[in-house]
Amino acid sequence: MHPINLKNILLICIILACGLGMPMQTMAQADPLIEKVSQKLAQVNDYVAEGVMKTDVSFIKASLGKVKVYFKKPNLLKVKKEGGISLLPRGGVSLTINTLLNTKQYTTIPSGTQVLNGKNLTVIKLIPTDDNLDWVISTLWIDPVEALVYKTATTTKENGSYEINMQYGEYAKQGLASKIIFSFNTKDYKLPNGITLEFGDEDPTAKQKALKNKKGTIEITYSKYTINKGIPNNIF
Amino acid sequence: MWSLIQIELYKIFRRPRTYIAFGAIAALIVVIQFGLKIDGDAYAGFLMKDINDTLTVDGKVLNGYLICYILLQLLLVHVPLLVALIAADMISGEANLGTLRLLFTTPYSRTHWVIAKFIAASMYTILLLIWLAFLALFASMWIFGTDDLFLMKSNYVVLIEQSDVLWRYVGAFVFASFSLLTVTSLGFLMSSLSSNSIGPIVGTMSAIVFFTILSTLNIPLFNIVKPYLFTTHMNNWKEFFDIKVNIDNEAIRGSILNIPKIKTSLMVLTLHIILFVTASIIIIKKKDILS
């Protein structure tokens, strides 16, 4: 009989911790479908996308505007309207599928399947492992056959919740959407008449509409992607 | 007639008082532009507090077009008072000096003189408006640059593309000329009723202040008379900066939300001008010149 000393107990503990803990962690992080999606997205190091942006917020009257979307790995993203003022959901626009998955700092939880627009999609929840990330939880609706994400719902720490719906076309092979719809909650908008100097000339229909609809959407329809041509960092 | 107008223009522009309005407008605009150039971001941040809770606004919000809109909102309420300084003195000033009797002994009829005086006063008003447009719009465009017009109204925001803005300002200034000509004609009417300068000037200013307050108060009793007050319609130049949206809430480029409102206001203002000038002519024709 060998005496059980402190050194041996410590060794057994380390072996047990590696033996039980590691497989659990690996199971949670390396969801094969997420890996498949990540691999698809990994083909794209950077892109410049041209498109048309539509802002639909109840208290905003804005016309369609041409935009350029710049993306660079791992999570740099910028939307620029060509020669004009652009309105984007606060903090939400940067939470695209590329920026979520490229951080690699998340745990995955499979959450079954759901039918969305006639497609049978796998639902996976992502929980960040890095406390410094802005988002708290994100749910992804993924087509398991094409490895394309059709919808994400993300809750952030400071900027509320966002839903992003995606449609695919010509650039589906690289996992890039042809149309993205950001949905977000809007807060009340009201400026005192004393500031706007609009005494007694309110538009009652706009007021009524603003009260009814508290959900805003920003829709970007992409016409062209320029992929992996390099983008200088000063763009972002 | 043109020689009569020239004589009246000469009289207007010979008086130092004429240049007070030009100086006052220039001083006000320069001070506001200076303030916004130095501390405009803080002002824009205050205005956009509610929007910034939901959206990130990227671009040059505080550009020349928005500055001009802010200036017009502030100045088009007060410029009528400056117009009254000249318009309300056109006839009564001469009556006070005793030169009106001399004028009416010339071969030209009293109607000719009154119309010539009104046209000269109107030309002064238009020049004042052009001066305002030059400083408020073009100088602001030069100092602050241009971009889309991001207008924050009480209940909603209008974002107008920069290529869709300039013609709206042309429309707004044409509309403002009708507003100011209404004030000119009112001053003219007051002037025809008096034989001293101060009374009509103060009377015109008081009428503008009184009716402006009535127009801005949201009391049901006053709402009945509001549509008939010229001050209610004077502010409708802002309608040029409100656009229609389609069923998908997309702003329709080049559209104006409420064209009938602009037409009605122009009609009411024109009727006021005709009424005031006609009344002035009738009063002067019947007036017994005693000074």
Q: What is residue A4's predicted lDDT score, i.e. its pLDDT?
A: 52
Predicted confidence (pLDDT) at residue A198 exceeds the cutoff of 80: no
pLDDT tens digit sequence for A17-40: 444 444 444 444 558 888 888 888
Q: Residue B109: count other Cβ atoms within 10 Å of its Cβ.
A: 11
Q: Is A215 left (phi over 0), alpha (psi -120 to 50) or beta?
A: beta
- Note the pLDDT of residue A16: 46
Q: Residue A44 belongs to what domain range?
A: 30-235
Q: Which two tokens stand for residue B116?
A: 């010539």
Write the pLDDT tens digit of every residue in A74-132: 777 888 887 788 888 776 566 677 777 766 778 888 888 899 888 889 999 988 888 88
CA separation (Å) from A122 to A131, B42, B277? 26, 48, 78
- Residue of B216, B156, B246, B42 lying closest to A198 (CA atoms): B216
Max mean pLDDT among A147-156, B105-114, B229-238, B259-268 falls in: B259-268
**Domain-located, residue A115:** yes
Q: Taking CB atoms and an 8 Å limit, are B47 and A191 in contact across chains?
A: yes
β-pairing verdict for A148-156 and A135-143: antiparallel
Q: Amino acid identity of B11?
A: K
When mean pLDDT is compared across A193-197, B8-12, B190-194, the lowest value belongs to A193-197
- What is the per-residue pLDDT for B50? 76
The reply to whether B229 touches chain A by the CB within 8 Å rule is no
The pLDDT score that the predictor gives to residue A210 is 47
CATH number of the domain to which A44 belongs: 2.50.20
Tens digits of per-residue pLDDT, B150-161?
A: 988 888 889 998
| Domain annotation covers residue A9 | no
**Which of chain B's residues have a Cβ under 8 Å away from the Cβ of A195?**
47
Interface contact flag, A199 B243, Cβ < 8 Å: no
Q: Specify which residues A108 forms β-bridges with.
A: A126
Which backbone phi and psi does B243 adopt, to 5 degrees? -115, 160
* Residue A188 confidence class, pLDDT cut points 50, 70, 90: confident
Residue A194: is its pLDDT beyond 60?
A: yes
Q: How confident is the model at residue B170 (pLDDT cuts 50, 70, 90)?
A: very high
Percentage above 70 pLDDT, chain A: 76
- Cα–Cα distance measured from residue B52 to residue A187, given in angstroms and rounded to the nearest whole number: 10
Query: Which chain A residue shows the shortest CA-CA distance from B226?
Result: A200
pTM value?
0.81
Is the Cβ of B257 closer than 8 Å to some Cβ of chain A? yes
pLDDT of residue A23: 41
In a domain, A123, yes or no: yes
% of chain B residues with pLDDT over 90: 42
Could you write out the DSSP letters of every residue in B48-111? Answer: THHHHHHEEEES--S-HHHHHHHHHHHHTTTHHHHHHHHHTTTTHHHHHHT-HHHHTTSSS-HH
Q: How many domains is chain A partitioned into structurally?
A: 1
Asked whether residue A1 is domain-assigned, the answer is no
Distance from CA of A95 to the nearest CA of B (A): 14
Beta bridge pairs of residue A149: A142
- Name the amino acid, one letter, at B18: T
Chain A interface test: which of B77, B154, B163, B246 (most A C-beta within 10 Å): B154
Q: What is the pLDDT of residue A18?
A: 45
**Residue A236 predicted with pLDDT over 90:** no
B19 has pLDDT over 60: yes
Q: How far is B252 from chain A (nearest CA, A)?
A: 6
In a domain, A15, yes or no: no
Task: Specify whether the CB–CB gap between A168 and A178 falls below 8 A.
Answer: yes
**Domain for residue A187, yes or no?**
yes
- Top pLDDT among B70 and A132 is at B70
C-alpha dihedral, B100 to B106 to B107 to B109, nearest 10°: 0
For chain B, the residue count is 291
Least confident of A99-103, A134-138, B103-107, B256-260: A99-103
Instruction: Work out the pLDDT band at A184, boundaries 50, 70, 90.
Output: confident
| Mean pLDDT of all residues belonging to chain B | 89
Give the pLDDT score at B222: 81
CA distances from A48 to A54, A105, A145, B270 (A): 18, 25, 27, 55
Q: What is the pLDDT of residue A91?
A: 65
Within a domain: A171? yes
Any CB–CB contact under 8 A between B154 and chain A?
yes
Poorest-confidence range of A206-215, B75-84, B172-181?
A206-215
Chain B 64-103, CB below 8 Å of chain A: which residues? Answer: 73-74, 77
The answer to the question of residue A223 being in a domain is yes
Query: Above 90 in pLDDT, residue B60?
Result: no
Summarize the confidence of residues B74-88 as an average pLDDT.
85
Highest mean pLDDT among A75-84, A116-125, A153-162, B167-176: B167-176
Q: Is B249 on the interface with A (CB under 8 A)?
A: yes
A-chain residue closest to B154, CA distance: A191
pLDDT, residue A9, reads 57
pLDDT at A213: 57
Query: A201: which chain B residues are within 8 Å (Cβ-Cβ)?
Result: 235-236, 238
CA of B244 vs chain A CAs: smallest distance (Å): 8
pLDDT band with cut points at 50, 70 and 90 for residue A161: confident
Q: Per-residue confidence at A199, pLDDT binned at 50, 70, 90?
A: low
